[in-house]
Amino acid sequence: MKFISLQPFVPSGSDFETSKKLFVELGFNINWDGGDYIGFQKDECRFILQKFNDRAFAENFMISVAVDDVDGFWKEVKEKKLMEKFGIHVGDPVNQPYGREVNLIDLAGVCWHFVQG
């Protein structure tokens, strides 16, 4: 048996529509919209945004996304002023033992690790 893909269900937090807009601004495309569930994709990365609000869960949920240019990603996020526009937190690029990384805390509180890999 071959495993084909992994698509986590990511909580939206209290504002599902604004979370949806954030991920579109980050460059993800909507593959399908099931109302309270939306399938997002950028290149080979996929996830499902779920209309679900549980701050304690979200703040303990982390996702690692491999990117080819973490500094370019960080620069694009800064140029789009996504922190100001959405009230999210985006850290500066840092070197970790596993690669260069930028952390983004989304509207729900999920920590996204964008790692150059």
- Show the tokens assigned to 13: 């937090």
pTM: 0.94
Q: Does domain 9-116 have CATH number 2.60.120.10?
A: no
pLDDT of residue 117: 75
As a whole number of angstroms, the distance between CA 5 and CA 11 comes to: 19
Distance CA 32, CA 56 (A): 28
Separation between Cα atoms, residue 97 and residue 67, nearest integer Å? 16
Domain ranges of the chain: 9-116
Q: Extract the residue ranges of the chain whose pLDDT is less than 70.
A: none
